[in-house]
Structure 1
Amino acid sequence: MRDLEIWANIFNKIGSFDYAIGIDERGVPYPSNFDDIFDQFFFLAGVIVELPLGLNNLVLEINHLKNTWFGSANVILHGREMTSKKGIWRKLRNMDIRKLFYQHLGGVLCNLNMNAVVVSVDKRKIWSYKTPVNPYPMAIQAIAERMLLLDEKASRFLFWIEKRGSKEDADLSDAIKNLSALGYVNEHLPKYQTDRLKTREWKCWFSGKKENIALLQVADLIAHYYGRYMREKHLNQKKVEIAWMSKAIEEKLFWVVEI
């Protein structure tokens, strides 16, 4: 399986880790249309698996789901594309099929050996700071702080992140290096766990979307559907696929952090 081959490559290059944390976001980190309640927020999901067994379980279960519904097709689970119901996702236009698929997906997520953290950032607040802070690395730090609560004895953590652009990836890489060296990603952020964060080793690895990494796809689903869940809760709306996914989201969330 491609994911496990890539993991073997990571292991050979930068060593073993106690946990991998798949990272993906919903929304954009920079100021946008604050008149829209949803655009006020940036959501970052971290999907946490113990290595190697948790990752092996996740890859096997996600690939089994894909094979059940799409056979040998090269399918990438992506919340926005699934919601659009275009291309390979056209079959979800049929309500009966959509219900069965989302119930199957929700059941798979509930049974995975993983935990999840979602960081919800109110961009109106952070961009009004005297020194504005990029919410993406801010959310990374919040997830790292919760990792210390999840397992106090673990010492090596890998953030697995989807590639975006050379500058964005370099900025995130530098922020994560700061966790190990300084205990924080940015000097302007509150420093709640600085001394403890410095005693752990934090690394990152970037993969492209076409590499079809199951861990990153689960992170995308958590971020996408949690963001939609919160928006529709605020607007007093309820789409059926959100109802089908909400049990899985609520059951697997180890922590929701609001900034």
Structure 2
Amino acid sequence: MIEKGDYIVYIDESGDHGLKNIDPNYPIFVLTFCCFKIPEYIDIAVPALQKFKFKYFGHDQIILHETDIRKNKDPFQFLRTSKDLRSNFLSDLSNIIEKTPFIIVPIVIDKSKLKTKYAQPFNPYHLGLRFGLEKLNEVLLRKDQVEKEIYLICEKRGRKEDKDLELEFLRICKKDEQFGYKQTDFEEMTYRLLLADKKSNSSGLQLADLTARPVGLHYLKPSQPNRAYDIINSKIYRYKIFP
């Protein structure tokens, strides 16, 4: 029986992975791999988000989505009613992210550059998964996770997309598979990909969701003030940009 790993990884995205109609205002695709030590996830991350939800909503069935919060969309429309309330809400949420220990492996795919450089560019999501796994592998080797089972959790996106992603994941993890000049032995750990329903009330997926867009905005406008990025910056391990 494979020994269970000491870490759990949650993956979320910002932007879309399509290459046909690229948004000139956000021509990138971002994946963030958020790696938690399991006891810290259980004892710190989960209860902190639960307390936050009960404080502002009176229950814990809310799913925190960065886009909905930013745009004051249901169920966050109450944030429009008071600047102080919105400020306190965002401050409390930022404090949770800041105080929760986890490592972020961010991957930024510049879709415009990708299309310019390659006649037949790879799927940005699949590229992000590969590069993220390469960096994650480095993190877990340093954490003595060799020959342990590590779960990667990401949201479902659709039957075809999910099937393609699962096949790509298996292809990446094959021992004899190589991409470019660099070869990573992904079999040093046993990786498992788990696709969660979008309605899954996962604390890890929600924290991952809150980290992805700040990374993207920092890439696009590095000189622009970005408090959300400043909060997560110390957690980032080897920012990867492609191409």
1:47 to 5, 22, 34: 34
Q: Compute the displacement of 1:251 (Å).
A: 2.5
Tell me which of 211, 227, 230 is aligned to 1:222.
Answer: 211
The 1:33–1:165 alpha-carbon spacing in structure 2 relative to 1, beyond 3 Å, is: closer
For residue 131 of structure 1, give the secondary structure of its aligned residue in structure 2.
coil
Q: Assess, with a 3 A threshold, how the Cα gap between structure 1 residues 78 and 183 changes in structure 2: closer, same or farther.
A: farther
Distance in 1, Cα, partners of 2:39 & 2:77: 35
Question: Could you tell me whether the CA contact under 8 Å between 1:24 and 1:220 is conserved in 2?
Answer: yes
Residues 158 and 221 of structure 1: is their aligned pair in 2 closer, same or farther, counting only changes over 3 Å? same
Deviation string, structure 1 residues 166-188 (Cα, Å, up to 9, x no partner): 1111111112222332365xx6x
Do the aligned residues in 1 keep the contact of 2:218 with 2:224 (CA within 8 Å)?
no
Change (3 A) 1:134 1:246: same
1:124-152 residue CA offsets vs partner (Å, 9 max, x unmatched): 23334243211112111211111232231
**Paired residue type of 1:36:** P
| CA–CA distance in structure 1, aligned partners of residues 134 and 58 of structure 2 | 40
State TM-score, norm by structure 1: 0.81
Q: CA deviation at 1:73?
A: 5.2
Any residues of structure 2 matched to 1:85-234 within 5 Å, and which? 85-93=72-80, 94-127=82-115, 128-152=117-141, 153-155=144-146, 156-182=149-175, 189-194=179-184, 196-231=185-220, 233=221
Q: Distance in 2 between matches of 1:237 and 1:205?
A: 36
Q: Distance in 2 between the 1:130 and 1:230 partners?
A: 24
Task: Indicate the structure with greater helix content.
Answer: 1
Q: What runs of 5+ residues in structure 1 fail to find an aligned partner?
A: 1-13
Query: What is the TM-score normalised by the length of structure 2?
Result: 0.86
Matched, 1:75 2:62: yes
Deviation at 1:52, TM superposition (A): 4.2
Give, in angstroms, the shift of residue 76 of structure 1: 0.6
Equivalent residue, structure 2, for 1:249: 232
Task: Report the CA distance between 1:110 and its aligned residue.
Answer: 1.0
Shift of residue 254 of structure 1?
2.2
Distance 2:15 2:23 in 1: 14
RMSD of Structure 2 on Structure 1 (CA) = 2.4
Residue 222 of structure 1 deviates from its aligned partner by 0.5
**C-alpha displacement of 1:164:** 0.9
- Gaps of at least 5 residues in structure 2 are none
Letter in 2 for 1:227: G
Asked if 1:66 is matched to 2:53, the reply is: yes
The question of whether the paired residues in 2 share the 8 Å contact of 1:23 and 1:46 is answered with yes
Match of 2:36, as an amino acid?
A: V
In 2, the alpha carbon distance for the partners of 1:137 and 1:183 equals: 18
Instruction: Note the alpha carbon deviations across 1:2-25, whole angstroms, 9 max, x for none.
Output: xxxxxxxxxxxx983332211111
SS at match of 1:174: helix
